[in-house]
Chain A
């Protein structure tokens, strides 16, 4: 194993060797800084062993932004290589690795953790709960994600990145065609983080169904919580097929079985089916919470109740159901026959109906509203037209006959980037700006944010509109270069310029965050946007127990109603405080996920001793948890009073 890694690094591209050196230096720097400032204890006590949903959410956010940086760099490397015909910036192998890691990272290690960040930070606060249903499991989910992402990111310096696309289709991904450890990294890191995702799905369904504040019936629940519920239902039913697809591909590669091989009766299309039974619902997992975020933001910044609440709920649930009946549209060209293709084509188009309902509801909410164009609202406003174009091109692709022409072309690339950037990323950035004061207690600077917004938005259209045309002109996905005679040069160059504009936009966000940590407007009220839902009734950042008293809910937009009652002077006075039961912090989630990581790392290199040691570690941690007597602790009334006085009085 060690020999293999050393050999790989010795022969690697200078770019990779430099990255390896940079990683070692960064790590040493972090270790030095933590030791110099004596922060190890703080890191361990406040973050690594925490079970607080707000801190876990912040850790998800930090990881997602770091991964966004890496995925973004991948994108820029690719766009640089494609800027001119016959470029020699990257060789074909390196290009293959980069588009594979770009796709995998952006979906699984950026979109997913960003969503989990919002869910973790907001859902318990919105429904008036003190934490999620299973705080321990929540920490397990995070650390599984963390170590999954770590394992994936180690691949490019320790043995080679996966290079069979983000979908890793066999037979290309089989041992016969990809003998290195790359695909093993892919299989095992996705497997590890996937377990965490299923656990998160279960956790939030129970949280939403069982832990709402008294009086908050389901139909009085904020739409973001509804959207998370819909998304989590999709998670728990969509991830198991991925688990199976990856496990069987792993068995093929590590144990020599024949599920998807070309020999001994294997069937590669079986993998493609299993993958997309997860893969398509996965994009709805990513987009559904964004619909919720949009609903909150549009309502808050229009100063109106959301238009068509019930139809919003119905369309969320409808999308989560239809999402299971569309997966074949990713491979109409498999040739399943007109009957099957027609069914999946019609089902795919049907998704447009509930989505259209939501778009109209947002527009009608804004109609005659008192609109304030703040940063969150700006991103929400940009989302709507962008996502509508993405949806329209989606309908084009959902039509099976036209898909035969467009399949695997740049048209597809442009379409899904339009829905995933113009949809998921715009919406998640809107959500990040919206809830940032709740997470950290200060607002992000508006001016820098507007620079970021315009660079990113204009960059987006400059980057991806030409790609639709390139698709029509016959440029296929995953080509690392093209001859000048194709005539694709100028549009590709424009597209690359757009990608760099988006990169500048991202840098502005980084600068904005760094600037605002020092100079950003402090949020002393806890309600900087004049919000409508319960999270804004708490100080920013919320105390670790969230609610000193669990509020009683009488209507939708509970906090808005409370504020109206308070203005009218009819709000009932506070009841007695009671001691609050809190869960203990624990190192077990971290250790258990570390054991998973060790096991996965062993399997990547077929080192079964290491893998077994890791698995034993996992089982020991599970038994430890089962047998330990962890009842949590109580916060006394005095402590609550002190904390409340310090956070509210400041």
Chain B
């Protein structure tokens, strides 16, 4: 085997250019479909348990409108900047692409930071994950989304590094397309969290 292994010097493998990359994009769509079912299961759990407060804090007592509005604003804006990055990719502007990824990452970091702060505030008020079934479900759903966003940030940074090293090619373009899909997907999930958890929560 060893003797036959040769490195490939040309940038595009002969048999597959963008066609090869399409497989990855389809695969990633399928992953998103699967991940959506994961969130659906967490939403179902939350909806079943949201009234099970066991005499502890309720949704209306916990959620503060300015905080979750700010989170929503940051995440939706980051989706917009991610879209601008996609636009830069289509026009082949590598530096602009990296710049918009950086803005997206910063907005994402701000979102995660505020969410962590929100969790710490709740916990210090005694609303920990262990307090009631409602809080367990709340932290599980919103926390899973937060973990996804954190992973998305690491991923976008990794893609940006590759874009800096290799500029725009089929591979790096595909990697950004997938990371971008992931980012928009998390935005969609957040819109559902915003509605089901926070809006329905403060309305009581």
Contact = CB atoms under 8 A, between A and B. Distances in A.
Contacts of B159: 626
Interface stretch (B83-91, B107-115, B126-134): B126-134
B6 A202 contact: no
Interface string B130-167: 11111011011000000000000011001101100000
A265 interface: yes
B95 interface: no
Contacts of A247: 140
A258 B136 contact: yes
B26 interface: yes
Interface stretch (A56-64, A212-220, A298-306, A628-636): A628-636
Contacts of B13: 581, 631-632
Contacts of B161: 627
Interface stretch (A203-211, A343-351, A519-527): A203-211
Given A134-B27, A627-B162, A241 B37 contact: yes
Interface string B26-42: 11001101110110111
Contact of B134 (A265, A270, A579, A584): A265
A499 to B, nearest CB: 37
A244 B133 contact: no
Nearest to A579: B14
B14 A236 contact: no
Contacts of A198: 31, 34
Given A240-B37, A259-B140, A265-B134, A270 B49 contact: yes
B196 interface: no
Contacts of A201: 30, 34
Contact of A259 (B4, B6, B49, B175): B49
A580 to B, nearest CB: 8
Contacts of A265: 49, 52-54, 132-134
Nearest to A202: B30
A277 B37 CA distance: 11
B126 to A, nearest CB: 13
Interface string A237-270: 1011101110110011001111101011111001
B23 A581 contact: no
Nearest to B19: A210
Contacts of B5: 584, 633
Contacts of A243: 38, 41
B16 A270 contact: no
Nearest to B48: A270
Nearest to A274: B41
A247 B39 CA distance: 13
Given A201-B34, A266-B52, A248 B23 contact: no
Given A206-B27, A210-B26, A244 B53 contact: no
A632 B8 contact: yes
A133 interface: yes
A256 B130 contact: yes
Contacts of B45: 244, 248, 259, 270, 274
A623 interface: yes
Interface of B, secondary structure class, is helix
Q: Categorize the interface residue count of chain B.
A: 35 or more
B15 interface: yes
Contacts of A578: 14
Contacts of A248: 45, 136, 140
A624 to B, nearest CB: 10
B148 to A, nearest CB: 13
B132 A264 contact: yes
Contacts of B131: 264
A247 B140 CA distance: 9
A479 interface: no
Nearest to A241: B41
Interface in B41-87: 41-42, 44-45, 48-49, 52-54
Given A581-B13, A584-B5, A255 B27 contact: no
A626 B35 CA distance: 20
A45 interface: yes
B7 interface: yes
Contact of A236 (B4, B16, B30, B41): B30
A619 interface: yes
A91 interface: no
B76 to A, nearest CB: 25
Contact of B30 (A205, A240, A251): A205
B203 interface: no
A314 B60 CA distance: 49
A576 B23 CA distance: 27
A13 interface: no
Contacts of B22: 210
Candidate in B6, B16, B37 with the most chain A CB atoms within 10 angstroms: B37
A7 interface: no
B34 A202 contact: yes
B136 A251 contact: yes
Given A210-B26, A237-B37, A632-B13, A258 B4 contact: no
Interface string A565-585: 000000000000011010011
A631 B12 CA distance: 9
5 contacts: A240-B38, A240-B40, A248-B140, A633-B7, A639-B4
Ranked nearest first, the 9 interchain pairs of A and B with the lowest CB-CB distance are A265-B52, A265-B133, A240-B38, A257-B136, A244-B41, A240-B37, A265-B54, A236-B34, A264-B54
Given A273-B44, A579-B14, 17 more contacts: A133-B27, A202-B30, A202-B34, A240-B35, A251-B129, A256-B130, A265-B53, A265-B54, A267-B48, A581-B14, A581-B15, A585-B1, A619-B154, A627-B158, A634-B6, A634-B8, A639-B4
